[in-house]
Structure formats: structure tokens, C-alpha cells
Structure 1
């Protein structure tokens, strides 16, 4: 029988079981932004939904975890922690619905492969080692001379955490609820989407040794109304008047840590990009990338009589024709 707390991760993200990794990522980002606690303060339902969305994404975005989830259903976590005994496990032919819990299944599995000399004694032991890669677990199936130790995967956990651009640029602290435990996480300045933070000893608890793995947080940056990324640089768009484009000007440009004056040369075009060096994103070492400022020439909509008269005079005296280059275009 299925466990009562089994969660359908595909249903949580609103995708089909044949969804591609890109479709899963797109659905996750849309839901994470919608239910993020910063956008839904004092809303416990949104907070719970956000946790479910992160849990579903953690599994379905990992090819190995997704394969185990698709194959073993509610027992996927136990399957991730286990390993097939010598001669194969027979998982493919196992009807998991006949077991009340994974412990019942593992008892029968170990009994099937670990009985010795007809005595009915089951062998089910584990040992641990510590090496350059940290804590490792091994589970032994069977008696000598046929027993062997099979390495168990680490009980690490992955989750996503959404940050505003301001939080990521300046650095921040976040309080996370991990089961019944509240953990404060320091995020250094300069995090970007896809950055990973390791929190030691806050992952899943091993069913064999009761040791905890690590928690890995993947950063997701929320969209910003003014700044966007172009590789490691930041990009923004600044509106300018037609006369500023023609004659040049000094304009004030917002940067992540305060406004600066920028010189616009004469004769610029709409869409042209100027570079402010060292005024873009920061990295954890304190270095700064560039801010790319895209110019947008904006025409005035409501002219006073004097302004209109000036534009009329300009039209009469101007010999500039921006369409000369396309005058001979034909098919």
C-alpha cells in the first residue's frame, strides 16, 4: 500500500511525467517566484507551497533522483540510499504495494540474499570509513565467503533559494526551516543564479549510521525592473532626449551602489551602448564587472509653443536625411 504522505512531484510542478528538463526548470521558476515568501509575507500557505515546489524541483531536476522516483515511487529515497546485493536485487520484479513500509521490503530482501547455511540467520551490517572525500557508508549482504561491502551514496540534500538582486549584490542572511530545525545561512556578496552554497551536516540522515549529509543551496535570482545580466556584466537602459543625442550631454545613471555622471558623446543613436567600467556586478572577492548602458532616444509628447517653434525651424533648415541609405532598396 502507498504511504499517506506520498507527494506527486509532477503534479506539484504542473508538468507531465515526460516533461523535459527545460520544461521542469521553467515551471519551477514560475511557481517559485509566485509563492516566494518575500512576495507573500505572513502567508503560511504560500510558504508551505514554496517548500513543496523546492522539494519537487530538487528531485525532478536531478536525473538520478528522478529515475529512482519514477521507478520506486514513495520508496525512492530508500532506493537512493540502498545498493543491489550480489546477483542483482530483483527490484524490477518487486511489487512494492505488498509492503507496509520500506523496512518490510528491506527485511525480505536481505533475508532473500543473506541467509546462511539454511539456518535462517539474516546478515545485515554496515561500517563507515573516513577518507579524503569525507564520510562513506558500506552495507554488507550475506555471509563469508560470499559477502561483500557495497558503498552507499552520501545523504546530501539539494534545495533552491530565491534572492532579490539587492540581497545577492550586498550579501544577506536567510533563516531556513529544515524539519524542526531553524538554520541561519550567510550568503556572501556577489551570488548569481546557479551559485551553490554548502551547509555541512544539514542534509538527510542516513538510515544506517544516522549520520547527516550536507545541504546544497542553489541560488535563483528574482527579476529586477531596471538591471539585467549580460554574461557577468549588468545591463540597463537610459532614456535621453533627441537634443541630448545630437549635441551630447552629461546624464545621471543609477548603479548598484549609487548614481554616477556619464558623458554622452554627440551624435549617438537609439540602442547604442556605452560602458561604465567597474560599475557592474561584484564577485565574492570584491572585484566589479562593467555596467552596460543602452541609450534610448525618447521623443517629447507634449511640446510647449516655444519648443514646437524650435523643432519647426530645425525641420526647415536641416539637410540631414537618415533614410538615404535605404533609398535604393528593391526586391
Structure 2
């Protein structure tokens, strides 16, 4: 990535580098609601903003990604340490200036003294590309995998499998989607089945590296990432959402329209429900691998109105004057 392509995720969200995880989450939810395509139909600028804030949140909400982003800046995706890749002994990169290199590959080639690098003082070996992972570990990424001329860099017995990530929207993951992907000079069509969840691994047979010993190609594994949704979240196999109700709905009970992944349903809210209680919509959650759906858990949040009419105020005052229920009656029994 060129320096001019660098995205300042903190600036995109309008927060500082010292912002807490809770601040990042609250800010993202506010911006996501503001720019969500459903709230701005046909507004491409809002859609672009929504994608930007979602991308920024995906990085800054993940402690490991945020640490790499803070340390390596525009090269954070290529940078280690990561699974199967530990930093070279005695190398301190905490205050290293990466801006002098055209890419992270150039920095690595410089560090290891490879011949022919295009970095500041050393050379680059065209056979080496860091955008793949073997079964023995290594840097990750998708696209630009090592070409066939680079297999000689591997030790005998190394797996020819490779791994990358694929990012889906909630809708794509729920319904399933077909994607056309580029593997260097090769284009492949990959079908993602309905019900993929974060961390799911999709195996594409025969699309890995060429094993120089068996002359057979390994497999490609795609790890699924799902963009955050403004309403739904995962809770294990189930989906969870928060639904606000008014005090009168909580006291008297009511029927509330609830969004689900495949449409709106009517849910009965029982009289006397408490804020924080969860109701279950059976079979309205996420698709299961062997068929059927998980459940959708609806967390009730009682919301008191801030602006009320004179009539509403009068009625609330009458309720307060005649109310027999005291939710704090047990306080008299509390002592040290």
C-alpha cells in the first residue's frame, strides 16, 4: 500500500489513539446508524462512509489488529508477529521508520540482507512473497500469493496449503454467496454456504501452492470475517438483539414488531417484564450447518421518554401519587 493510500482509522471514527474499547464501540454504533444504507437509501456517499467506519471499527475493536496498526501504520496487515511468525531475535522495530520502504517486503528483504532488494540499501528476491500461509505458519493475507517459482524456498515436507480471509456482510453470510476471487493470474469462483460465521473456514480443494515433490497442488482455506451489524450480534450459535419498550408496555404487556434476519415478526411482551430480561424467538436465529436455525434472543430495554406532553405528565403524576409498588422496599434490610 502506498503512503497516499493510508487510512487513518482514528480520524475516520473521530477519536483519539487513547480512546478505550468502549469509546470505540459507542462511536462506531453512532456513526453506523448515521450512515447505514437503510437510513440513506440511494446515497452513495453515505454508503462509502459506512464502509469506511466499518473497516476502521473492524481493526480498532480487535486488540491484536489495533496493536499492529498503531505500531506499523500503513503496513500493519503485512506486519508480524502473528500465528507461526515471531520477530527476529534482537530486532527492535518499536520506533522504526517504515516510510523509507516502498512495501513491507522491502523492509524484510533489507532486514535479512536478500540480494536484489529495491529497499534503501539492499535487494529483493522476486521469488519471495509474504501474502500466504503454509501449514507451518507464516504471514497471512489474500491475493498476491507466492508464485510457482518460489516453492524452492520451502523445506521438504512443507504443506502446500494456503490461507486467506474473506469478508462478508451479515446478509451474504446468512444467505450464502458466490464470489469471484483472484489468485495472482488465476480467477476462481467460490461458493460460501449459508450460515457461515466469524472464524468459519471454507476449503477450496486444489487451489493451494504446487508441492514440488508430489507435483500436486494443496488446498486454499478461506477464513470468514463478517462486518458488524447495527442490530444483530452473535451469542454463540444464536443471534442477540436489544429492543426498547416504553414503561407502559413493560407494565401492561404489549405486542412488539421485531426484526429478524428474514423479516419482521410479532412478539408478545409479558406484563411486568424487567429491563435486561431476554425473550426467545425459536428458530429465528442463524442457519445451522445440518439444517434448521438457531434462536434469536431479544433483550428488553425499558426506555423512559425524555420529552412528554402535558397530558402525559399529568397521568404520570397521578400514577406516582397512587402507586403501591416500591421497588426499593428491601433496602431497609440492607446493612453492613
Please, what TM-score do these two structures have when normalized by structure 2? 0.58
Distance 1:201 1:284, change over 3 A: same
Contact kept, 8 Å, 2:114 with 2:125, in 1: the verdict is: no
- Structure with max Cα Rg: 1
Distance 1:180 1:297, change over 3 A: same
The answer to whether the aligner puts 1:276 opposite 2:298 as a matched pair is no
The C-alpha deviation readout for 1:2-34, integer Å capped at 9, x for no partner, is: xxxxxxxxxxxxxxxxxxxxxxxx9xxx9xxxx
The alignment covers a number of residue pairs equal to 230
Distance 1:207 1:151, change over 3 A: closer
The answer to whether the aligner puts 1:192 opposite 2:197 as a matched pair is yes
Shift of 1:302: 1.8
Distance 1:179 1:173, change over 3 A: same
For residues 82 and 221 of structure 2, the distance between their equivalents in structure 1, rounded to whole angstroms, comes to 14
For residues 315 and 308 of structure 2, the distance between their equivalents in structure 1, rounded to whole angstroms, comes to 10
The C-alpha deviation readout for 1:117-150, integer Å capped at 9, x for no partner, is: xxxxxxxxxxxxxxxxxxxxxxxxxxxxxxxxx9
The C-alpha deviation readout for 1:203-249, integer Å capped at 9, x for no partner, is: 22335565422111011111111011111111101111101101111
**Structure 2: gaps (5+ residues):** 1-20, 26-47, 53-73, 90-103, 106-110, 117-123, 128-154
Query: Paired residue for 2:329?
Result: 324
Shift of 1:177: 1.5
For residues 214 and 53 of structure 1, the distance between their equivalents in structure 2, rounded to whole angstroms, comes to 27
> Aligned ranges for residues 298-317 of structure 1 at < 5 Å?
298-317=303-322
Contact kept, 8 Å, 1:168 with 1:221, in 2: the verdict is: yes
Query: Paired residue for 1:39?
Result: 51
Distance 1:314 1:286, change over 3 A: same
Query: Paired residue for 2:78?
Result: 56
For residues 274 and 53 of structure 1, the distance between their equivalents in structure 2, rounded to whole angstroms, comes to 45
Distance 1:103 1:306, change over 3 A: closer
Contact kept, 8 Å, 1:198 with 1:216, in 2: the verdict is: yes
Shift of 1:310: 1.1
Q: What is the alpha-carbon root mean square deviation over aligned residues?
A: 4.2
Contact kept, 8 Å, 2:239 with 2:296, in 1: the verdict is: yes
Distance 1:55 1:155, change over 3 A: farther
Distance 1:314 1:96, change over 3 A: closer
Distance 1:212 1:54, change over 3 A: farther
Distance 1:218 1:60, change over 3 A: farther
Distance 1:309 1:250, change over 3 A: same
The answer to whether the aligner puts 1:223 opposite 2:240 as a matched pair is no
Contact kept, 8 Å, 1:54 with 1:159, in 2: the verdict is: no
Shift of 1:285: 2.9
**Structure 1: gaps (5+ residues):** 1-25, 31-35, 41-51, 75-94, 105-149
Partner secondary structure for residue 219 of structure 1: strand
The C-alpha deviation readout for 1:240-271, integer Å capped at 9, x for no partner, is: 11011011111111111111111111111111
Query: Paired residue for 1:88?
Result: none
Partner secondary structure for residue 78 of structure 2: helix
The C-alpha deviation readout for 1:172-204, integer Å capped at 9, x for no partner, is: 112211112222211000001111011122222
Q: Please, which of 178, 191, 196 is the counterpart of residue 183 of structure 2?
A: 178
For residues 171 and 158 of structure 1, the distance between their equivalents in structure 2, rounded to whole angstroms, comes to 20
Please, what TM-score do these two structures have when normalized by structure 1? 0.58
Shift of 1:164: 1.2
For residues 246 and 315 of structure 1, the distance between their equivalents in structure 2, rounded to whole angstroms, comes to 14
For residues 54 and 216 of structure 1, the distance between their equivalents in structure 2, rounded to whole angstroms, comes to 22
